[in-house]
């Protein structure tokens, strides 16, 4: 006779929660906007002003993999090419076809800092042309202290139409100076402190209740002691589940 065992939902839940908490703490970046090309967070200040033109022309231009030319200026709008759908008039980013027709990808007043899929910081712009077509320009900001300003364009994402992707690699895409709030605790640090305080309160209250109300002693004083005993095994099973490609693990054992 065979015994069948599946990885429990509790195991997967524990692992998912742990991985999510760790990933959110190390991968994503957020930044409070202080201007069309500057922001501040607990890492310091990011300001792209040194790599922005102020004469009404775009600082950067690159031909994308889709054969369109992408022009971008970080801090001030520029006047780009005319086009059949209104062209690029007072824009932060512009797509230009081989016939020199311009298509707006956003102006400075739409600039917003957000986190790209890979966790990098990005500037996002939006625009709607005269036909009602909405376009979104994404400029990923990559910190490299050895680069003044390298600009590349990937172009339109065919799996996500009307979204256009560019990348700036620059020392000005790095954070510097005083952090937001003058060096106070970051949101992540505050969250960790809150969690630790709650755990301590939970343990103290649980031990007190088990001692006073139930007369327990030793290890049995711990609240939900059976659950805590099972945690290492649940985590182990959770990792096994992920490493096996999230396939249900079947274990058989012959019984006499």
Tokens of 150: 């390298």
Q: What is the DSSP string of 149-160?
A: -EEEEEEE-TTS
**pLDDT > 90: percent of the chain:** 53
Q: The domain at 28-173 falls in which architecture?
A: Distorted Sandwich (2.70)
Closest CA to 166 of 59, 78, 51, 64: 64
| Residue, of 118 and 222, whose pLDDT is higher | 118
Q: Is the pLDDT of residue 252 over 70?
A: no
Q: What value does the mean pLDDT take over residues 130-152?
A: 96
pLDDT band, residue 229 (cuts 50/70/90):
confident
Q: Is the pLDDT of residue 7 over 50?
A: no
**Interval 65-106: pLDDT, tens:** 999 999 999 999 999 889 998 899 999 999 999 999 999 999
**Rounded Cα–Cα distance for residues 240 and 256 (Å):** 28
Residue given tokens 């081989």 in the structure block: 98
DSSP 38: E
Q: Is the pLDDT of residue 202 over 80?
A: yes
Q: Is the pLDDT of residue 118 over 50?
A: yes
**Interval 230-245: pLDDT, tens:** 878 888 887 887 777 6
Tokens of 217: 């002693």
CB 19 within 8 A of CB 7: no
pLDDT at 190: 78
| Residue, of 244 and 13, whose pLDDT is higher | 244
pLDDT at 29: 62
| Range 139-169 burial, b when 16+ CB lie within 10 A, else e | bbbbbeeeeebebbbbbbeeeeeebbbbbbb
pLDDT at 181: 55
Which of 13-27, 55-69, 226-240 is predicted most confidently?
55-69
| Range 20-45 burial, b when 16+ CB lie within 10 A, else e | eeeeeeeeebebeeeebbbbbbbbbb
pLDDT band, residue 131 (cuts 50/70/90):
very high
CB 221 within 8 A of CB 207: yes
Average model confidence (pLDDT) for the chain? 83
Element (H, E) at 40: strand 38-41
Tokens of 119: 């966790």
C-alpha separations of 115 from 24, 86, 110, 187 in Å: 11, 30, 16, 16
Alpha helices in the chain (DSSP H): 9-26, 187-212, 225-243
**Rounded Cα–Cα distance for residues 96 and 80 (Å):** 9
| Domain layout of the chain by residue ranges | 9-24+182-243, 28-173
CB 108 within 8 A of CB 76: yes
| Residue, of 42 and 179, whose pLDDT is higher | 42
pLDDT at 227: 80
- Please state the pTM of the whole predicted model: 0.63
Q: What is the DSSP string of 212-232?
A: HTS---GGGGSTTHHHHHHHH
Q: Is the pLDDT of residue 17 over 80?
A: no
């Amino acid at each position: 006779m065979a015994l069948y065992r599946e990885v429990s939902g509790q195991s997967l839940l524990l692992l998912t929660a742990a991985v999510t908490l760790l990933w959110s703490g190390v991968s994503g970046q957020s930044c409070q906007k202080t201007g069309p090309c500057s922001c501040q967070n607990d890492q310091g200040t990011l300001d792209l002003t040194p790599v922005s033109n102020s004469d009404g022309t775009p600082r950067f231009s690159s031909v994308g993999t889709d054969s369109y030319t992408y022009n971008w200026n970080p801090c001030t709008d520029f006047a780009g090419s005319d086009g059949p759908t209104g062209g690029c008039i007072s824009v932060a980013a512009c797509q230009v076809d081989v016939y020199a027709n311009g298509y707006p990808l956003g102006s400075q007043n739409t600039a917003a800092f957000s986190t790209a899929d890979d966790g990098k910081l990005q500037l996002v712009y939006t625009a709607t042309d005269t036909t009602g077509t909405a376009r979104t320009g994404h400029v990923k900001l990559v910190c490299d202290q050895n680069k003044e300003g390298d600009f590349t364009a990937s172009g339109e994402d065919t799996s996500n139409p009307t979204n256009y992707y560019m990348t700036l690699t620059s020392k000005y895409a790095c954070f510097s100076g005083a952090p937001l709030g003058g060096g106070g605790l970051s949101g992540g640090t505050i969250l960790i402190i809150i969690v630790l305080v709650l755990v301590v309160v939970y343990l103290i209250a649980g031990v007190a209740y088990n001692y006073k109300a139930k007369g327990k002693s030793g290890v049995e004083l711990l609240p939900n002691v059976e659950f805590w005993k099972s945690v290492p095994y649940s985590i182990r099973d959770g990792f096994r589940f992920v490493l096996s490609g999230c396939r249900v693990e079947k274990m058989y054992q012959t019984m006499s």
